[in-house]
Homo-oligomer: A and B are copies of this chain.
């Protein structure tokens, strides 16, 4: 949140993932593939609770820095169909932005019209928001420096500083065609799939390491930063 404050960029939506709060529970109760039996329901409730808890921590951190952040719980107004957002009414999010405040959202367990419930990833949500709100830039803060040409744990892996939409398509296709997951880019492939239509729409996407001080702030301000810049 310090990064956001120091960037002095005013108009943005912030989305956080589930981290160590949501993911272990979602996995334990197998929520990602939808309803199987009633024993998952307490897991649904517990995961929602965990996400509210994490959101509160992040919100408090923002408010302590005088950022006018306003939590908007995604699962209160977004339902999916087969894990995908269909319609989304962003009237409230737009109103908050119009008032020069920052909507704070998160990956969440949502109701699904086919599967009863499922996980709405922060990546899917962010990509959709960027497109609907016609964002100038979408920044994905991860725990690696950006998109690498092979698994970033591999010491010979090289950071790709610039990618075109064709590069992204190639990555996604290589992954889809391989028998077993080749894990070209660590956990990056899911993000790559989601950002394809975002880049297609002409929105700049930057993947960077959110753990390194200054990077989010610089990227928000439009400055050059260590990471992967993806453009059409």
Which residues of A approach B to under 8 Å, CB–CB?
Answer: 35, 38, 41-42, 44-46, 48-49, 52-53, 55-56, 59-60, 63, 66, 68-77, 79, 91-92, 95-96, 99-101, 111, 116-117
In the complex, which of the residues B41, B60, B73, B91 contacts A49, with contact meaning CB atoms closer than 8 Å? B60
Copy number in the complex reads: 2
In the complex, which of the residues B44, B45, B101 contacts A41, with contact meaning CB atoms closer than 8 Å? B101
Q: Which residues of B contact A42 (CB under 8 A)?
A: 66, 68
Task: Sample 5 A-B pairs with CB under 8 A, ordered by A number.
Answer: A38-B100, A45-B68, A71-B73, A79-B95, A91-B111
Please determine whether A99 and B41 come into contact, CB atoms closer than 8 angstroms.
yes
In the complex, A41 Cα to B76 Cα: how many Å? 23
- Looking at chain A's contact residues, the main secondary structure is helix
Please determine whether B59 and A56 come into contact, CB atoms closer than 8 angstroms.
no
